[in-house]
Amino acid sequence: MQHTFIDILRLALDEELARDPAVHLLGEDVAAGGAFGVTRGLAEKHGATRVRNTPISEAAITGLATGAALCGLKPVLEIMFIDFATLSMDCLVNQTAKYRYMSGGQLAVPMVVRTQAGAAGGAAAQHSQSLEAWFIHVPGLIVVAPSTPAEAYGLLKSSIRLGEPVLFVEHKRLYTMKGELAEGAELPPIGKARIARPGTDVTLITYSAMVQGALEAASELAEVGISLEVIDLRTLVPLDMATIAASVSKTHRALIAHEAVVNGGVSAEIAARIGSELFDQLDAPVLRVGCPFAPIPFAPELERALLPGSPAIVAAVHELMGRTQ
């Protein structure tokens, strides 16, 4: 049976609410269904105390969720747009991420912050960003980015059960994506990537919505005899370097692609690690595909011109293979 990404997130939350009385949802408009409808119906089903609306106070609600996580709840906080995570930063960075460490292990923060990123046509500069790179820089935070409905289902559940502070980054354009849910599938571990498509010529490392672009590029490239191995990272920090190493040791060529700005993006960290840890495996420089260095513009033509997708990946692969188109 096919579910949309949104329906699957709702299903996962519904099941976790039923499974564990400590799980509580909160966020702006969450009880009313949430900005994208993810939490629709959950307040009615599980009660107004388990699923709560909050005022527009990102700083306070992030602190609220953190304090509650210290005291026995498992909050799942919704920050409507990752662009607004800026308002949560003091708490996320200075408190949430560091509580276990600063307390010498006395306290943990079992909390999930669900947010969404990405450009989707006309949302413009303050509602279209992909800011996940900031959060991989904070020791103690875990950052997860699902790429399909089935992945989202499993990864959200794993994140809720993990017992650490997790930033769960959904993507606007994936919300309408449809996918199958395998019955009784095991929950995927946090911190482990998956091979979305095996291949032999180039390792393409990616996550979230870009996985779709990567698979399209892989199909196109297969027709000219180039075999792409697509790795869906799933967890951005801690990074599954072992899967990357096994792949690059096979293909000897690495490409990293994401929608976020290339400059200082997650790809920069991965490229640096490949360069230092897998140097002797490289038969070509490590290339990156991402958004050029500009805010996301409003007009559709301008937005389209900026956003990277499978054409950019195909061009980069050809460059890696040292051939003309």
Judged by the rule CB under 8 A, the positions of this chain that interact with other proteins are 22, 24, 49, 52, 54-55, 57, 59-73, 75, 90-91, 94-95, 99-108, 139-140, 142, 157-158, 161-164, 187, 189-192, 225, 235, 238, 252, 279-284, 318-319, 322-325
Angle (nearest 5°) at CA 256 between 111 and 135: 25
Please, what is the minimum distance in Å from the beta carbon of residue 291 to other proteins?
A: 24
Shortest reach from residue 1's CB to other proteins, in Å: 24
Q: Which is nearer to other proteins, 33 or 67 (CB)?
A: 67
- In angstroms, give the least distance from the CB of 68 to other proteins: 4
| Residue 4 or 95 having the CB closest to other proteins | 95
CB of 142 to other proteins, least distance (A): 8
Q: Which residues of 248-270 are buried (b: 16+ CB within 10 A; e: fewer)?
A: beebbbbbbbbbbbbeebbbebb
The distance of closest approach from Cβ of residue 104 to other proteins in the complex, given in angstroms and rounded to an integer, is 4
Which CB atom, from 118 or from 199, has the smaller least distance to other proteins?
199
Given the residues 16, 28, 58, 132, the one annotated as active site = 58
> In angstroms, what is the minimal distance from the CB of 312 to other proteins?
15
Secondary structure, 3-state, the chain: CEEEHHHHHHHHHHHHHHHCCCEEEEECCCCCCCCCCCCCCHHHHHCCCCEEECCCCHHHHHHHHHHHHHCCCEEEEEECCHHHHHHHHHHHHHHHCCHHHHCCCCCCCCEEEEEEECCCCCCCCCCCCCCHHHHCCCCCCEEECCCCHHHHHHHHHHHHHHCCEEEEEEEHHHCCCEEECCCCCCCCCCCCCEEEECCCCEEEEECCCHHHHHHHHHHHHHCCCCCEEEEECCEEECCCHHHHHHHHHHHCCEEEEEEEECCCCHHHHHHHHHHHHCHHHCCCCCEEEEECCCCCCCCHHHHHHHCCCHHHHHHHHHHHHCCCC
Shorter beta-carbon distance to other proteins: residue 52 or 197: 52
Q: Which is nearer to other proteins, 4 or 29 (CB)?
A: 29
Residue 58 designated active-site: yes
Told to judge if 183 belongs to the known catalytic residues of this protein, a careful annotator would answer no
Measuring CA to CA, how many Å separate 29 from each of 5, 68, 127? Answer: 19, 19, 17
Closer to other proteins by CB, 104 or 184: give it.
Answer: 104
> Would you please indicate which residues are annotated as catalytic (active-site) residues?
58, 127
